[in-house]
C-alpha cells in the first residue's frame, strides 16, 4: 500500500492530524497497536485551550463539543483554607472548554469513519523503516500476515512508549526529563461537581484537584505516594481524604458516590529534541510529557498537530519552509508550556525535601499571585494557552 502520510497512533493527536490532512486532500493511514475499544476507554484530561477548540472546529468535529462542552471563564486556587478565583476571561479575553478527551477521541473516530480513510487497529510488531531516506515505510503484523505501507512522511503519534521515538538512534536525539516524587490518585464518579469551575488545592496534607467532565460526572484527584496502589484505596477512604484537603464549607457541599474508575498516575516532565528525523516527525507524547497540573498534555499535542498539518499542507502546495521549521516552532511552544506545568506543579504540591523554608516560599508565591494583577494575568495567559506562532 502507498499513501502520502502514515500516522502511527490512533489517539486524539493521530486522529486529529488524520482528519485535518483528509480535509486538505492529503491521503493518510492511521495505524494503531491497540483496539479501538481500548483507545476509547482510556481516561484522560478534559480541559481544552481555545487554540485546541479552534483546531477541532477547523477539523469539522466541534459540533457535539459546542453542544455538550462546558465553557469555563475562570479557575480557582485554594490555599490557607480559602478559595481564590482567577478570572481567565476578564484577564485575557479567553476561556477554556471542559470536554473530556474520551469525547474528543470519539468525535474524531466518528469523523474518520465518515471520511473513509483507512485505520488499522490491533497492529502488532509495528516497524518504522527508512525514515532517513526518500521512501520511508511502516510495516505491521495482523492476523499472522505482515503488511507494508510506503509513505512520503511518517507522523509518530504513538505516545511516550511508542515505537517511533525508540526507532531513532540515541546519538541523534537528546532527552530531558524530571520525575516528580509523588503521583495523583484519580477517581471518576457520576456525581455533580462540587464547583462549576475547577479548584486546585494547596494543602499541608498534599495537593488536590476538583475537576469535572460534565454537569453530572466529576473527576477528583489527591496527591499520593508513588508506593500507593489504587486498589488499596477504598472509595470511602478517597472521599474522606479529599474532604480533609478542602475548606470545610466546600467539603460539606461535596457529593460522593461509587467510583467508575480509579487509578494512580505518576508525574514527569519530558522533552525530546529535535522532533524531526528525516521524514519522521514526533507528535504529542512521543516527543514530550507534562505533569497534568494545568491540563496541558492534550493541548500541547494539538499544537504539534497544528504545526505539522500546516507544514505538510504547504509541502504538497510546493513549499517546504513550514515543514522545515516544524521542530523549532513546536519546541519553542513546548518549552514554554513545560515551564508553566513545572511551575504550577512546584507551586501546588508538597515535596518531601522542601522543608519549612520551601513551604513558606510556596505560600509567599501564592499570596503574591493574588495580590498582583500582572502575576494573575501571566498565569491566566498560560492557563488559557499561548498563541500558535
Q: Could you please report the per-residue DSSP string of 115-150? A: HT--EE-S-EEEEEE-TTSSS-EEEEEETTEEEEEE
Residue 2 appears among annotated catalytic residues: no
Sheet order of strands, 74-79 included? 82-87, 74-79, 199-201, 208-212, 218-224, 174-189, 259-273, 288-289
Backbone angles phi, psi at 125, to 5 degrees: 50, 55
Catalytic residue among 200, 220, 221, 307: 200
For residues 234 and 240, what is the distance between their CA atoms, to the nearest angstrom?
Answer: 10
Catalytic residue among 99, 180, 221, 383: 383
Q: What are 84's strand-pairing partners?
A: 77
- Cα 110 to chain centroid distance, Å, stands at 21
Residue 220 appears among annotated catalytic residues: no
For residues 3 and 305, what is the distance between their CA atoms, to the nearest angstrom?
Answer: 19
Grid cell 478565583 is found at: 85
Catalytic residue among 140, 292, 315, 326: 292
Tell which residue, 222, 212, 269, has the closest CA to residue 246: 222
Residue 325 appears among annotated catalytic residues: no
User: In whole angstroms, how far apart are CA 295 and each of 256, 319, 322?
Assistant: 23, 34, 27
Tell which residue, 263, 284, 223, 193, has the closest CA to residue 9: 284
Residue 221 appears among annotated catalytic residues: no
Residue 383 appears among annotated catalytic residues: yes
Grid cell 503519534 is found at: 157
Q: Could you please report the per-residue DSSP string of 216-260? A: S-EEEEEEE-TT--GGGS-HHHHHHHHHHHS-HHHHHH-----EE
Catalytic residue among 72, 94, 203, 288: 72
Residue 368: other Cβ atoms inside 10 A: 11
For residues 175 and 213, what is the distance between their CA atoms, to the nearest angstrom?
Answer: 33
Grid cell 469555563 is found at: 72
Catalytic residue among 94, 203, 296, 349: 296
Tell me the catalytic residues: 72, 200, 292, 296, 383
Amino acid at each position: 500500500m502507498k499513501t502520502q502520510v502514515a500516522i502511527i497512533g490512533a489517539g486524539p493527536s493521530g486522529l486529529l492530524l488524520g482528519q485535518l490532512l483528509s480535509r486538505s486532500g492529503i491521503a493518510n493511514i492511521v495505524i494503531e497497536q491497540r483496539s479501538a475499544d481500548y483507545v476509547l476507554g482510556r481516561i484522560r484530561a478534559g480541559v481544552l485551550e481555545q487554540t485546541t477548540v479552534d483546531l477541532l472546529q477547523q477539523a469539522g468535529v466541534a459540533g457535539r463539543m459546542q453542544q455538550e462542552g462546558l465553557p469555563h471563564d475562570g479557575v480557582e486556587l485554594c490555599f490557607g483554607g480559602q478559595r481564590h478565583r482567577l478570572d481567565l476571561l476578564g484577564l485575557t479575553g479567553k476561556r477554556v472548554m471542559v470536554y473530556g478527551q474520551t469525547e474528543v477521541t470519539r468525535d474524531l473516530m466518528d469523523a474518520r469513519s465518515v471520511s473513509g480513510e483507512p485505520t488499522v487497529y490491533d497492529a502488532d510488531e509495528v516497524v518504522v523503516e527508512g525514515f532517513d531516506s526518500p521512501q520511508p515505510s511502516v510495516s505491521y503484523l495482523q492476523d499472522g500476515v505482515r503488511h507494508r505501507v510506503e509513505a512520503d512522511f511518517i507522523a509518530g503519534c504513538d505516545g511516550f512508549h511508542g515505537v517511533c521515538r525508540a526507532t531513532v538512534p540515541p546519538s541523534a536525539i537528546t532527552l530531558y526529563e524530571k520525575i516528580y516524587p509523588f503521583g495523583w490518585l484519580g477517581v471518576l464518579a457520576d456525581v455533580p461537581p462540587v464547583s462549576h469551575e475547577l479548584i486546585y488545592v494547596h494543602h499541608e496534607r498534599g495537593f488536590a484537584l476538583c475537576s469535572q467532565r460534565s454537569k453530572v460526572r466529576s473527576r477528583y484527584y489527591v496527591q499520593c505516594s508513588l508506593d500507593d496502589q489504587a486498589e488499596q484505596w477504598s472509595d470511602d477512604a478517597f472521599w474522606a481524604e479529599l474532604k480533609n484537603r478542602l475548606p470545610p464549607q466546600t467539603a460539606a457541599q461535596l457529593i460522593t458516590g461509587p467510583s467508575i474508575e480509579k487509578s494512580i498516575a505518576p508525574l514527569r516532565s519530558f522533552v525530546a529534541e529535535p522532533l524531526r528525523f528525516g521524514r519522521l516527525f514526533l507528535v504529542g507524547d512521543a516527543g514530550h510529557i507534562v505533569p497534568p497540573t494545568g491540563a496541558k498534555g492534550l493541548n500541547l499535542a494539538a499544537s504539534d498537530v497544528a504545526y505539522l498539518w500546516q507544514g505538510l499542507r504547504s509541502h504538497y502546495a510546493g513549499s517546504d519552509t513550514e515543514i522545515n521549521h516544524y521542530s523549532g516552532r513546536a519546541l519553542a511552544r513546548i518549552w514554554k508550556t513545560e515551564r508553566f506545568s513545572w511551575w504550577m506543579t512546584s507551586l501546588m504540591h508538597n515535596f518531601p525535601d522542601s522543608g519549612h523554608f520551601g513551604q513558606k516560599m510556596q505560600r509567599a508565591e501564592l499570596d503574591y499571585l493574588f495580590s498582583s494583577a500582572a502575576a494573575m494575568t501571566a498565569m491566566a495567559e498560560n492557563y488559557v494557552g499561548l498563541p500558535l506562532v
